[in-house]
Structure 1
Amino acid sequence: MKRNFDDLYKAFEDRFRGSRELVKDRLRIYLPLLGQVPRQDDKPSLAIDLGCGRGEWLEILAEAGLEAVGVDLNAGMAREGTDNGLKIELQDALEYLGGRPDNSVAVVSAFHMVEHVPTDYLIGLLDECHRVLTDDGLLILETPNPENISVGTHTFHLDPTHKSPLPPDLLEFLVGQAGFAETAILRLNGTPMIEAGPIERSVHLMFEVARDYACLARIHAKQEPDSLAAFIHTASQPAPADTARIKEWLRSADDEIVGISEGVKSTMSSNADQLRQLADNLAAQSEMMRTGNIALQDTMASLARQLEQLVLKDAAIEEKDAEIARLSENVTTLEKQVQQLASLKDAFQSSTSWRLTSPIRSIKTKTAWFAQGMSASLKFKPESRLWRMTRRGAILLAGSILAHPFLAHHARQLLRRFPGIDVRVRAILSPKRISLPTPIMSDFSTSTRHASHIYLRLKAAVARNQKAAD
């Protein structure tokens, strides 16, 4: 059996429009308007839903206390409603309204139906709606909103039975031309507006908000708070095609982008300056490090040389220490020997033989002294007594001669003729002192008492001789 799209339409609705529960939840937005619909005293007011489909809206109308009648040409769609006890007429919508008397219907609605019919058919349908509605009756025409870019460019065309999109202004114009005094556009079934940046808000408004809209109309307008405008003010979503708002947001985005750009430029300029300064600092630090490295290398080389010298000095000091240690050992040995000799000397001088030979040593010493004096006198040495007596007489004679200029002059003339005599006279008259040779031991602190006594006697004798010579 050959099938057409009408046979698939229920499955299409189930997949792309949503479940019955979801659709009913969306339709409850109209309940405040249903509450304003006047009721008859003797029977429920009549409400007709054109293109009723599965009958979700019929259930809401019945729950609101209205007599709900659905009209649809698709038997497959209507079957689900009739199975649920709903009243659905399988008839063309325009023909069905044509069979109704004037001013006999309280509510006429069509949800996602007007986009399926040609424009001329729609105009005739609106005229019939105006005719059958009571003076205070309500017209609801819901359809996809082509203001939403996603709907106008994509989802509207998913249904091949759609004729053409109906912009809100066009449908409202046609409704007004049918004689309805009060009209309003309710935008709905989209994602609520978000708190975000201007560009993201603009994109969200154009693609996500108000995916559907409904043209609401009454033959006679009502005053606040029952007016359609009051209901729209509280229930409607923003218009996706609100270009003024979008431009304002984008302008603020431009200003923000310009501000950010200027800030980025300023930051980049500042960062560039900082980078240049950092590069200069790094270059300066690098040069300082290079110079410091050279100085460090020189210092290390100098320290190496000093260390080498210290090592050499340390080696020399070690050698000196070793030499000192050896000398210290030698001194210790010599001190021990001196102490031994001193002990032997003291023992020898304390012996009987030393005391018995004392007169002999005295005679020997005096004989040696006399012999030395006689030898010095015979040789006319400066340290002899004859030399000192001769010098004293010569000094007195020279003083007497020098006191007379005449004698002094002739004495000098005479001495020049005999240079040898002149030299000897000058040697006698010179103030030369007798000096004893430096003693072998200059420090007698460690000598024996006898040696110290001899040294002191000798020193006194030298002093007396010098005084006598003067």
Structure 2
Amino acid sequence: MSDFYSAFEARFRGSRELIAARLRGYEPFLLPLAALYPGGSAVDLGCGRGEWLELLGQAGFKATGVDLDDSMLAACRERQLDVIHADAVEHLQRLPDASQALVSAFHVVEHIPFESLRTLVREAHRVLQPGGLLILETPNIENLVVGSSSFYLDPTHLRPVHPLLLTFVVEEGGFARTKLLRLNGDPLPTSADIGLGHVFGGVSPDCSVVGQKAAHAASDPAFAPAFEADWGVSLAQACGAYDGAIRAQWRAQWRAQEQAQERAQELTKELLASSVQSLQTRLDRQATDLQRARDELARFRGEVNQMRNEVRSELQNEVAALHQALHAIHTSRSWRWTAPVRRVHAGVRRVAGKVLRRTLPMARTVVHQTSWTKKIVRGALESSPSTARFVRRFLGIPETPVSPSPAAPPPPPIRLFQDLRSVKLMSAIAQSEHADAPVVFITKDGHVD
């Protein structure tokens, strides 16, 4: 079994150089003690390969190692170290009171029952000189990897000892001052690099309780720096650092989101401003086009009004000319001389109209009775087209279809309007001035109808 544990220590605990480097972390306690008790006695319980014994010898102590593993003791004897094959508690019980300046036990308390631990603490207090130190180091189960995994790698471990319980046992054992140290770990990285792995495995893997027996007040200041300093990384510190890193990341992400939102708002404002500017430009352009259309409409209205005034003036001139022409006709000698003829003509038309209104229906009946009468009437009427049109309306004889001649282009709207207005005005003037005279129409080109 001893050979197995020696090989196990060499594989999993680390090299002698590594362990020696870790043990130098106790120098803030060791150097004031060496100054208080030069050449003082020290006992290391469970000395193992003797790294701590060598360090004590270098500090000037007269150190003795105690262990039950013969292979470990053989390694110590090869280095000329003072070691004893014995049980740790039994060896303490054999030592005289106030005979030791230092009692140490590195990774021993997890191998012994709890009552043996309490006995070890009481016996260490008895054998220590005033101001002497007790050092108890054990795996730190605050490290979640150690407490849940690596602690159970050693088959000789009985149970883990919580750091706070170990501190209480030392205080209850009568030591005047205690200090909980967290050892052999790396400092936490910066908040930007910390992760969940540092919470699980970043806590110091080992812890130690250093107890000091009551001493004269003059020796206290020398040990004050060591007892007042912060040692290692606790679970609370690792969790706090991780929480701080998470909060910092969330704050950074939140700030990034705020900046992104602010940038998006700025871009939105810029786009809105650009859209408003573009819309304003379009509105200005449309307003300009509308104003131009209004100006064009006003100009067109002016032209229309001018044209209307010109037409009105021209019509007034034509009406005045017509009045003069009619006045000239009515005051002419020929008009006065032909007055009897016109009266006779009007009387003949009235008599002829009465005769025709009475005789034409009978003639129409006669003509329609035989076809030869229709031919005779048609031949007679063809010689006088104007009479033929009049008679056909009464006799009901259809007109011979005539190919239509090309229609003359209609006069311009203004000229047609002027001609119609001229005819209406002339008719109105003639009827108003000579109600009993026939109406004479004189067109603009000088024809009289």
TM-score (norm 1): 0.52
Asked whether 1:220 is paired with 2:219, we answer no
2:48 equivalent among 47, 53, 61: 53
Which letter does structure 2 place at the counterpart of 1:220?
Answer: A
AA aligned to 1:208 is G
User: Within 2, Cα distance between the matches of 1:83 and 1:146?
Assistant: 34
Deviations 1:208-264 (A, max 9, x none): 24111110011116665323x521444612323347xx3475156336415514643
Task: Check conservation: 1:49, 1:58, Cα contact below 8 A.
Answer: yes
Query: Is 2:100 aligned against 1:69?
Result: no
1:213-292 matches, within 5 Å, as 213-220=207-214, 225-227=221-223, 230-234=225-229, 236-242=231-237, 246-247=239-240, 250=243, 253-254=246-247, 256-257=249-250, 260-261=253-254, 263-264=256-257, 267=260
Partner of 1:305: none
Tell me the SS of whatever aligns to 1:225.
helix
Q: Which segment is superposed worse, 250-259 or 111-120?
A: 250-259
Task: Say if 1:150 and 1:208, in contact at 8 Å, map to a contact too.
Answer: no
Q: Using a 3 Å threshold, how does the CA distance of structure 1 residues 196 and 242 change in structure 2: closer, same or farther? A: closer
Give the distance between the partners of 1:272 and 1:154, measured in 2 at CA: 53
Does structure 2 conserve the Cα–Cα contact (< 8 Å) formed by 1:207 and 1:240?
A: no
How far residue 152 of structure 1 moved from its aligned partner, in angstroms, is 1.2
In structure 2, C-alpha distance between the alignment counterparts of 1:248 and 1:189, rounded to whole Å = 19
What is the CA distance between 1:31 and its match in structure 2? Answer: 2.1
* Conservation of the 8 A alpha-carbon contact between 2:100 and 2:128: yes
Residue aligning to 1:152? 147
1:185 and 2:173 correspond: no
Give the counterpart letter for 1:267 in structure 2. Answer: A
Change (3 A) 1:192 1:248: closer
Alpha-carbon offset, residue 200 of structure 1: 1.4
Query: Which whole-Å CA distance do the structure 2 matches of 1:48 and 1:23 have between them?
Result: 18
Residue from 18, 25, 29 that aligns with 1:29: 25
Whichever residue aligns with residue 104 of structure 1, its letter is S
Aligned mates of 1:255, 1:28 — CA distance in 2: 36
For residues 183 and 36 of structure 2, the distance between their equivalents in structure 1, rounded to whole angstroms, comes to 31
Q: In the aligned structure 1, how far is the partner of 2:253 from the partner of 2:214?
A: 54
- In structure 2, distance between residues paired with 1:262 and 1:35: 51
Amino acid at match of 2:53: L
Return closer, same or farther for 1:258/1:194 CA change in 2, 3 Å cut-off: closer
TM-score of the two chains, using structure 2 as the length reference: 0.55
Matching of residue 107 in structure 1 with residue 102 in structure 2: yes
2:201 is aligned with 1:207: yes
Q: Contact 1:202 / 1:250 at 8 angstroms: preserved in 2?
A: no
Query: Within 2, Cα distance between the matches of 1:220 and 1:166?
Result: 25
In 1: Cα distance, 2:265 partner to 2:36 partner = 82
* Paired residue type of 1:200: I
Partner SS, residue 86 of structure 2: coil
* Cα pair 2:151 2:157 within 8 Å, conserved: yes
1:267, distance to aligned residue in structure 2 (A): 2.6
Q: 138, 141, 144: which is aligned to 1:143?
A: 138
Q: 2:194·2:245 contact (CA, 8 Å) conserved in 1?
A: no
In structure 2, relative to structure 1, the CA distance for the partners of 1:152 and 1:134 (3 Å cut) is same
Partner of 1:14: 10
Instruction: Check whether the contact 2:175–2:214 (CA below 8 A) recurs between aligned residues.
Output: yes
Gaps of 5+ in 2: 275-449
Give the counterpart letter for 1:218 in structure 2: Q
Residue of structure 2 in register with 1:167 after alignment: 162
Amino acid at match of 2:23: L
Question: 8 Å contact 1:107–1:137 — kept in the other structure?
Answer: yes
By how many angstroms is 1:193 displaced? 2.3
User: What do you get for the CA RMSD once the two structures are aligned?
Assistant: 3.3
Distance (whole Å) between structure 1 residues aligned to residue 140 and residue 36 of structure 2? 35
8 Å CA contact 2:199–2:242 kept in 1: the answer is no
Structure with bigger gyration radius? 1
Aligned residue in 2 for 1:320:
none
| Contact 1:140-1:214 within 8 A present in 2 as well | yes
Matches within 5 A, 1:60-459: 60-197=55-192, 200=194, 203-204=197-198, 206-220=200-214, 225-227=221-223, 230-234=225-229, 236-242=231-237, 246-247=239-240, 250=243, 253-254=246-247, 256-257=249-250, 260-261=253-254, 263-264=256-257, 267=260
Alpha-carbon shift at residue 118 of structure 1 (Å): 1.0
Cα shift readout 1:365-402 (whole Å, capped 9, x = no counterpart): xxxxxxxxxxxxxxxxxxxxxxxxxxxxxxxxxxxxxx
Q: Secondary structure at the match of 2:185?
A: coil
Specify the alignment match of 1:409 in structure 2. none
Alpha carbons of 1:40 and 1:274: their partners in 2 closer, same or farther (altered >3 Å)?
closer
Aligned to 1:355: none
Q: CA deviation at 1:159?
A: 0.7
**1: CA distance, partners of 2:53 / 2:60:** 11
Which whole-Å deviations, capped at 9, do the CAs of 1:130-165 have from their partners, x for residues lacking one? 111111211111111111112111221111111111
Q: Is the 8 A contact 2:34 2:61 kept in 1?
A: no
